């Protein structure tokens, strides 16, 4: 069976997460999005585990169910060097046992545990309890594994992680220029901090599983039966390009190094995922192994509606149109990728044109960087961000 799974989200207990990020909100929104399996996030926070137990029915083999949505225990952990690791756990009992072994001052104050443990120590601990463990958003400049290590094996002490999560600013074509990653399954997850469909499921995996269970998910990773990765267009990610985190100007990476990662505005420059991957790549073009599934670019429907009507994604205008489309045509994933354009036109001709342009890769895009997401436009080129290169401003075409 094919299962749409978003395996990395956060709960209301995580820093900067919405108070609405609770099971009773996540489950119905996930269904509207088109997801069947969602990670709980924050699986080492005992208060969140209590809520999961109170809000769901245990279906067995690691699955907790609510309103036609299945949940699996997951948690992000910040280890040494501020590197983030993703755990997928067999059940709540094991989550509570591991939480006792995590030496952390914030284990029950922040959903994301911060520990003084290396990647190797965390991987060994997870494997001791039968968990699946790998780097979260592996390439991001603040907390990704590759910001500190040139090799995944150095991060995990020569041990093999179970997967690599790409993050919002990278895709398969980028990651498969790195030879050492050819044997790893890639995950694309939302890292959502709010339950609304422009966040949850903005990246997800379509996985061939025997059934919805922890054992079946583990087998799918081992047998590499992920059938598709769905994710944002990578250059829309907020760390795709090297840029200043204060003024958001793009900066030539070589100039950034020369300036010791300090912008002329006194802000901090963050190395972009695009450049970081080029630094450690073995090939200029991707070498996809036989098991690698297609990477299908996705964009939240609410953001497409917002683009068309030039108003925010949470406004009544956008939300009313979004709910009308969902009510009449089905879940968001089906509308974005499969529903006949003529059916969409019957509801909103402008949205039909925008989705057609999205499907045909016809949207105008200015990349993201420095912590600011990229921008999209349907029918007119956007004003490009300034690029600092030596003593002059240049266009992105000069990169």
pLDDT tens-digit map of 241-251? 999 999 999 99
Q: Are 273 and 169 in contact (CB under 8 A)?
A: yes
CATH 3.40.50.300 describes domain 2-235:
no
Per the CB < 8 A criterion, the answer to whether 122 and 131 are in contact is: no
Q: How many CA atoms lie within 13 A of 396 on its CB side?
A: 17
Name the pairing type of β-strands 269-270 and 243-244. Answer: antiparallel
pLDDT above 60: residue 299: yes
pLDDT digits (tens, 9 = 90+) for 104-132: 777 778 889 999 999 999 999 999 999 99
The mean predicted confidence, pLDDT, of the chain is 94
Per-residue pLDDT for 392 more than 60? no
Dump pLDDT digits (tens) for 50-73: 999 999 999 999 999 999 999 999
Q: What is the pLDDT of residue 397?
A: 47
What residues does each domain of the chain span?
A: 2-235, 299-359
Give the pLDDT score at 358: 93
Higher pLDDT, 122 or 394: 122
| pLDDT confidence bin for 200, thresholds 50/70/90 | very high
Among residues of the chain, what percentage have pLDDT more than 70?
96
Asked if residue 398 has pLDDT above 50, the reply is: no
Q: What is the pLDDT of residue 399?
A: 44
> Average of pLDDT values for 383-389?
75
What pLDDT score does 388 carry? 79
143-160 pLDDT, tens digit per residue, is 999 999 999 999 999 999
C-alpha dist (Å) from residue 8 to 101, 102, 215, 319? 22, 20, 18, 25
What integer pLDDT is reported at residue 396 of this predicted model? 45
In angstroms and rounded to an integer, the radius of gyration of the C-alpha atoms of the chain is 21
The whole-model pTM stands at 0.94
For residue 74, give Cα distances in angstroms to 126, 184, 305.
12, 19, 32
Amino acid 109: pLDDT: 80
**pLDDT for res 391:** 55
């Amino acid at each position: 069976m094919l299962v749409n799974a978003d395996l990395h989200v956060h709960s209301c207990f995580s820093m900067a997460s919405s108070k609405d990020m609770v099971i009773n909100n996540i489950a119905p929104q996930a269904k509207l999005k088109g997801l069947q399996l969602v990670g709980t996030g924050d699986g080492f926070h005992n208060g969140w585990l209590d809520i999961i137990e109170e809000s769901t029915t245990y279906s067995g083999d690691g699955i907790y169910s609510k309103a036609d949505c299945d949940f699996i225990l997951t948690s992000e952990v910040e280890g040494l060097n501020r590197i983030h690791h993703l755990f997928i756990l067999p059940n709540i009992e094991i989550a509570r046992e591991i939480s006792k072994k995590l030496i952390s001052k914030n284990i029950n104050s922040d959903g994301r545990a911060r520990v003084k443990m290396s990647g190797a120590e965390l991987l060994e601990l997870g494997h001791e309890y039968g968990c699946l463990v790998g780097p979260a958003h592996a390439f991001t400049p603040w907390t990704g594994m590759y910001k500190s290590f040139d090799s995944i094996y150095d991060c995990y002490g020569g041990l093999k992680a179970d997967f690599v999560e790409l993050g919002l600013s990278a895709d398969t074509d980028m990651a498969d220029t790195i030879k050492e990653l050819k044997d790893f399954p890639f995950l694309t997850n939302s890292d959502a901090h709010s339950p609304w469909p422009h966040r949850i499921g903005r990246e997800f995996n379509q996985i061939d599983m025997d059934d919805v269970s922890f054992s079946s998910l583990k087998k799918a990773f081992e047998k590499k039966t992920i059938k598709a990765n769905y994710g944002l267009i990578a250059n829309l990610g907020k760390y795709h390009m090297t840029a200043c985190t204060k003024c958001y100007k793009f900066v030539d990476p070589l100039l950034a190094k020369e300036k010791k990662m300090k912008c002329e505005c006194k802000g901090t420059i963050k190395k972009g995922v695009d450049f970081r991957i080029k630094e450690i790549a073995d090939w200029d073009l991707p070498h996809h192994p036989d098991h690698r599934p297609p990477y299908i670019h996705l964009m939240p429907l609410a953001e497409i509606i917002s683009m068309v009507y030039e108003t925010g994604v949470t406004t009544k205008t956008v939300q009313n149109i979004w709910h009308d489309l969902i009510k009449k045509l089905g879940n968001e994933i089906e509308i974005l990728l499969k529903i006949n354009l003529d059916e969409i036109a019957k509801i909103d001709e402008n949205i039909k044109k925008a989705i057609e342009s999205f499907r045909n890769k016809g949207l105008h895009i200015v990349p993201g960087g420095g912590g600011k997401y990229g921008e999209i436009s349907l029918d007119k080129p956007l004003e490009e961000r300034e690029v600092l290169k030596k003593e002059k401003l240049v266009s992105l075409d000069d990169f």
